[in-house]
């Protein structure tokens, strides 16, 4: 979807402000949100793309005015409700009022101590890659209503394949529960191709693009 | 938060003690010191450097880092001709296993919007001046490939031990948003 999360190239957000001696978390609840998100990831009630799409669907004003972990908490609650694990009345009551279907997985303390992983996104190829390194490609002008990882600022623009990463889980399908693996490429675009003739001629921007995002240039 | 934790543990989805372990891991074990060790090794060991730049995932695993959340890693090297910068314009993708959690600025709208359009101007405002004839090469982490910038080894560090070099390597330099200056009066 063409949402506010797709920020590449938007003007007006102001300067980047770095914080000296930034703590890992600015408040204990931030760490709890992160940890709970990880634990629910291990429960496998939804996948990474589903949880990203939930954040992308936050109302634009909410997305832009919430802190990072506030967004994560909103996303967590939305996923729990959407997947039938927690009902809104339970959130209001602040306790469980009924049973939920058992989780496919549950994080143990031992796993948590070992840094909960998520494994590889690469899958065996079922067909040869359509593009090779050095090949000229164009990002297709796609505007799907669902989840996609093709940023707006490259759509319609021509670039060059600089790496073939293998066949990976395809986010646009994975968000619906279907891994549908696709070839993944690093595609490099020159600054003026993306941002016009006045752009920095010594700028290059690469995105990792799945094969359905690309066509021959 | 506490209510959510309670609901999920009542439903059998959560052992609340796992949350403490995860927070503890992020606060104490995972961080940029891991990446700094990888960079320092690349600076002193040409064979490792070559393997890191060829297949970052395999090279970093071979050092004993299991890359549990970073399934795929590409290392890119800064030189006198190319300066690399990493961003995630769509969310906040970042190599957690080797750099820890991303700083707030990395996840912020100003950085995500501008890093792909005017990185040279943005970096200059951040105090990082890249000469106009040096290519700025931005890597937007749009899939599950994660990126590590191998910064240039500062002059004046010839003969330094690997652990001494590692202490010079900053988090921001491994994102491409910082340079490592020549150490003055160090050692």
Helices A48-56, A28-43: inter-axial angle, 10-degree rounding: 130
Distance CA(B151)–CA(B114), nearest Å, equals 21
pTM of the predicted model over 0.90: yes
Q: Is the pLDDT of residue A79 over 60?
A: yes
Of A16, A96, A117, the CB nearest to B7: A96
Contact list in A for residue B27 (CB cut-off 8 A) is 24-25, 31
Distance CA(B23)–CA(A212), nearest Å, equals 38
CB B123 within 8 A of CB B72: no
pLDDT of residue A106: 79
CB A193 within 8 A of CB A157: yes
Residue B147 backbone phi and psi in degrees, to 5: -120, 140
pLDDT digits (tens, 9 = 90+) for A24-60: 999 999 999 999 998 888 888 899 999 999 999 999 9
Percent of chain A with pLDDT over 90: 86
Q: Which of B9, B32, B116, B129 has the highest number of chain A CBs within 10 A, making it the mutation to test binding with A?
A: B116
pLDDT of residue B45: 97
Query: Do residue A109 and residue B15 have CB atoms under 8 angstroms apart?
Result: yes
Of B69, B72, B110, the CB nearest to A14: B110
Give the DSSP letter of residue B138. E
CB B7 within 8 A of CB A91: yes
pLDDT digits (tens, 9 = 90+) for B104-154: 999 999 999 999 999 999 999 999 999 999 999 999 999 999 999 999 999
Distance CA(A51)–CA(A46), nearest Å, equals 7
Residue A207 backbone phi and psi in degrees, to 5: -125, 155
Nearest to A28 by CA among B1, B54, B186: B1
Catalytic residues of B: 88, 91-93
Q: Is the pLDDT of residue B187 over 50?
A: no
Distance CA(B25)–CA(A116), nearest Å, equals 10
Task: Please count the CA atoms within 13 angstroms of the CA of B99 that sit on its side-chain side.
Answer: 25
Question: Does the structure's ipTM exceed the value 0.85?
Answer: yes
For chain A, what is the radius of gyration of the CA atoms?
20
CB neighbours of B55 closer than 8 A, spacing ≥ 6?
A: none
Start-to-end C-alpha separation, chain B: 47
């Amino acid at each position: 979807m063409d949402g506010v999360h797709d920020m590449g190239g938007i003007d007006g957000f102001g300067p980047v402000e770095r914080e000296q001696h930034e703590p890992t978390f600015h408040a204990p609840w931030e760490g709890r949100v992160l940890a709970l998100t990880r634990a629910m990831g291990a429960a496998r009630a939804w996948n990474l793309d589903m949880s990203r799409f939930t954040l992308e669907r936050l109302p634009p004003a909410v997305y832009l005015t919430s802190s990072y972990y506030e967004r994560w908490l909103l996303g967590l609650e939305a996923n729990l409700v959407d997947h039938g694990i927690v009902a809104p009345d339970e959130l209001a009551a602040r306790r469980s009022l009924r049973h939920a279907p058992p989780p496919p997985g549950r994080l143990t303390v031992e796993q948590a101590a070992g840094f909960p992983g998520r494994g590889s996104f690469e899958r065996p190829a079922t067909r040869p890659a359509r593009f090779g390194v050095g090949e000229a490609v164009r990002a297709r002008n796609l505007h799907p209503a669902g989840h996609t990882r093709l940023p707006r600022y490259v759509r319609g623009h021509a670039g060059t394949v600089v790496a073939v990463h293998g066949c990976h889980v395809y986010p646009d399908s994975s968000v619906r529960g279907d891994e549908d693996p696709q070839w993944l490429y690093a595609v490099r675009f020159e600054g003026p191709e993306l941002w016009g003739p006045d752009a920095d001629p010594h700028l290059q921007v690469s995105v990792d693009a799945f094969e359905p995002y690309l066509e021959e240039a | 938060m506490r209510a959510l934790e309670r609901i999920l543990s009542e439903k059998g989805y959560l052992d609340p003690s796992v949350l403490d372990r995860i927070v503890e891991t992020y606060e104490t074990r995972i961080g940029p010191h891991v990446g700094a060790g990888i960079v320092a090794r690349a600076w002193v060991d040409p064979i490792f450097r070559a393997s890191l730049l060829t297949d970052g995932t395999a090279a970093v695993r071979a050092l004993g880092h299991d890359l549990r959340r970073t399934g795929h890693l590409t290392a890119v090297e800064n030189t006198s001709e190319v300066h690399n910068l990493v961003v995630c314009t769509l969310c906040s993708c970042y190599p957690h296993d080797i750099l820890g959690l991303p700083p707030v600025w990395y996840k912020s709208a100003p950085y995500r919007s501008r890093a792909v359009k005017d990185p040279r101007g943005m970096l200059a405002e951040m105090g990082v001046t890249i000469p106009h004839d040096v290519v700025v090469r931005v890597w937007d982490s749009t899939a599950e490939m994660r990126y590590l910038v191998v910064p240039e080894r500062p002059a004046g560090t010839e003969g330094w031990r690997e652990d001494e070099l590692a202490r010079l390597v900053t988090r921001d330099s491994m994102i491409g948003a910082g340079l490592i200056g020549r150490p003055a009066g160090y050692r």
